[in-house]
Amino acid sequence: MHDLVIRNGFVIDGTGAAARPNCSIAIDGEVITAIGDEADGGVGPGRREIDATGMIVTPGFVDIHTHYDGQATWDGDLEPSTPHGVTTVVMGNCGVGFAPVKPDEHDFLIQLMEGVEDIPGAALSEGISWNWESFPEYLDELDRGEYAADVAAMIAHGPLRTYVMGERGANNEPATSDDIAEMARLVQEAVEAGAMGFSTSRTIGHRAMNGEPVPGTFAAEDELFTIGRAMARAGRGVFEVAPAGLAGEDLVAPKKEVDWMVRLADDIGRPVTWLMLQNMVEPDEWRELMQLSQEAQDAGKQVVPQVAGRPFGILIGLSTKHRFKDMPSFAPLRDLTFAEQAAAMGDPDLKARLIAESTEIMESIKDVEPIAYQVVNSYERQYLLGDPVDYEPTPDRSIAALAEAHGVEPIEEFYEQLRERDGEAMLMMPFLGYAHGNGDALHEMLTHPAAVLGLADGGAHANFICDASTPTWMLTHWVRDRERGPRLDLVDVIRKMTSHTAALFDLTDRGVLAVGKRADVNVIDHDNLTLREPRLVRDLPAGGTRLLQSAEGYVATVVRGVVTRENDEFTGARPGRLVRS
């Protein structure tokens, strides 16, 4: 009698092998103990059985780009990732995190995370336990937690540099040889204690709340390479990079970034993964960068571009930031519910005042903040998101197109769309990954053999973005629903979200359905899987807000042999634990 049997499903094992219909999986304890076709007798009975007839059965999804570094110390649910089949999360990305840290640096690291990843600082201040100073102590704190998914962490450049160099490090001053040697020592110590690697950010747009770039943004090659060699001495780990890119109107040469990453991967013999998104200035440059990465891989150097499953941008609605929110005439509405705000905004006089005030403000900053002015007024790039959502909208869904069809000014159309569905409607404004107004570039990136799927950013950008639902989007839009271009193969998409991501971080015990492997499993009603519109909730510590996005169709999610979610609801079980490298 097995502990759990998932009976008669359409099993996709994560390796890229063809699916097996009418197949059953037996689980005992934390591992898979038998897999068999029902026609050949199946796997025998279970103390509990899940009927997967008509469902796809997959490995649990491994999300390698999240920011639960603080949240994991107080929240075992790990939303918004876990409702979308994610059973392992890797955090500590983009050079930001919370260890190592001295007691007088807590506030700085909170402001750094809030500035870079838009996680409410008050929530972090109230929620984080701070029962650590060193990175190994931070891992020990995570080890005491119980979660709805396994957690793994990288050591980040921002806190590391600040810990070693103090204000000099925080202010991005050059590191001395002694500084670099101490950072390297701490990175080796962290990886030997179980860190999954090291992350750094060179992206100018990644700034703390005080406007300063992330510590390490301008680090010299000597600093980066010495840290990488320390990781290599530990014999494991991934070096993750948020590379230099657009800085205002100046385009930093990304090819130069790829060059040093290729040399680093060759030097340390470890994977170097970097974040790659299509930009508006050089919309076809990514092809050359991908080719450079492929050439490096062909030469035995592990340089792995990390690509997104959908455009990167912001969500706009009454529940988030919008151009009328800070206007004087909106002040009486701020404490109302969104439905009440939408109703009040139906007053023609209020509408006229808000549009006039907003227009005046925008005109006043036109020459001072031209980028902000352009973003707010780019109605041709602001699209209705819808419910169910559509992250590859057609041009006729833009505010500009709707305004023309309705014979009104774009700002009026924008105003009225904010009021839709009792103020719950959302607009999407993509900045990256949607330069040509379609998902063709994303499709090419997702099918390129050099790339790995990442950038879902679970736990981050709490009030503007909610991309942690990317796994559900991959299974619905890219596999089943896309009409504007070619779709993706279901078996290949499952591989991309399981064995492929797991392999990058040497998580060899998971990511595939096979005897002896971890019993992390999803049972999904793929035919009816639906991704809903994000909604704002106030459930963070200190009353902080964030966007959550639900899905319908996850029949069961199993972590370490325990059902953590059933019929799109948490069961209350928390079998997830810290994973050490």
196 burial type by CB count under 10 A (0-12 exposed, 13-18 middle, 19+ buried): buried
- Report yes or no on 399 lying in a domain: yes
CATH number of the domain at 529, please.
2.30.40.10
- Report yes or no on 537 lying in a domain: yes
Q: In terms of domains, do 557 and 528 share one?
A: yes
- Report yes or no on 514 lying in a domain: no
pLDDT in tens, 45-72: 999 999 999 999 999 999 999 999 999 9
In whole angstroms, give the CA distance from residue 67 to residue 154.
10
Average pLDDT, the chain: 96
Query: Cβ neighbours of residue 86 under 8 Å, at least 6 residues apart?
Result: 60, 61, 62, 63, 78, 149, 458, 468, 471
Last residue of one domain, picked from the residues 431, 455, 483: 431
Predicted pLDDT at 253: 62
- Report yes or no on 101 lying in a domain: yes
- Report which of 342, 429, 354, 360 is spatially closest to residue 391, judged by C-alpha positions: 429
Predicted pLDDT at 252: 54
Q: In terms of domains, do 272 and 290 share one?
A: yes
Using the predicted structure, report yes or no on whether residue 248 has a pLDDT greater than 70.
Answer: no
Q: Are 463 and 508 in contact (CB under 8 A)?
A: no
Q: In terms of domains, do 384 and 400 share one?
A: yes
Q: In terms of domains, do 334 and 300 share one?
A: no
pLDDT in tens, 153-175: 999 999 999 999 999 999 999 99
Q: Predicted confidence band at 372 (pLDDT cuts at 50, 70, 90)?
A: confident
pTM: 0.96
pLDDT in tens, 66-98: 999 999 999 999 999 999 999 999 999 999 999
Peptide bond into 471 cis (omega under 30): no
Last residue of one domain, picked from the residues 477, 504, 531: 504
Give the structural domain span for 19: 2-60+519-568
In whole angstroms, give the CA distance from residue 164 to residue 69.
20
Query: In the chain, what percentage of residues exceed pLDDT 90?
Result: 93
Predicted pLDDT at 249: 40
- Report yes or no on 452 lying in a domain: yes
Q: In terms of domains, do 239 and 125 share one?
A: yes
Q: At what angle do helices 285-298 and 254-268 cross, to 10 degrees?
A: 10
- Report yes or no on 373 lying in a domain: yes
Q: In terms of domains, do 90 and 72 share one?
A: yes
500 burial type by CB count under 10 A (0-12 exposed, 13-18 middle, 19+ buried): buried
Q: In terms of domains, do 40 and 135 share one?
A: no
Predicted pLDDT at 240: 98
- Report yes or no on 574 lying in a domain: no
pLDDT in tens, 210-225: 889 999 999 999 999 9
Last residue of one domain, picked from the residues 450, 479, 504: 504
Using the predicted structure, report yes or no on whether residue 258 has a pLDDT greater than 60.
Answer: yes
Q: In terms of domains, do 251 and 231 share one?
A: yes
CATH number of the domain at 164, please.
3.20.20.140
In whole angstroms, give the CA distance from residue 548 to residue 531.
11
pLDDT in tens, 520-543: 999 999 999 999 999 999 999 999
Count of structural domains, the chain: 3
Q: In terms of domains, do 260 and 352 share one?
A: no
In whole angstroms, give the CA distance from residue 363 to residue 373.
8
In whole angstroms, give the CA distance from residue 269 to residue 262.
10
- Report yes or no on 298 lying in a domain: yes
Q: In terms of domains, do 151 and 202 share one?
A: yes
- Report which of 59, 109, 315, 280 is spatially closest to residue 209, judged by C-alpha positions: 109
Q: Are 43 and 519 in contact (CB under 8 A)?
A: no
pLDDT in tens, 449-505: 999 999 999 999 999 999 999 999 999 999 999 999 999 999 999 999 999 999 999
Q: In terms of domains, do 152 and 301 share one?
A: yes
- Report which of 282, 241, 246 is spatially closest to residue 258, judged by C-alpha positions: 241
Q: In terms of domains, do 74 and 17 share one?
A: no
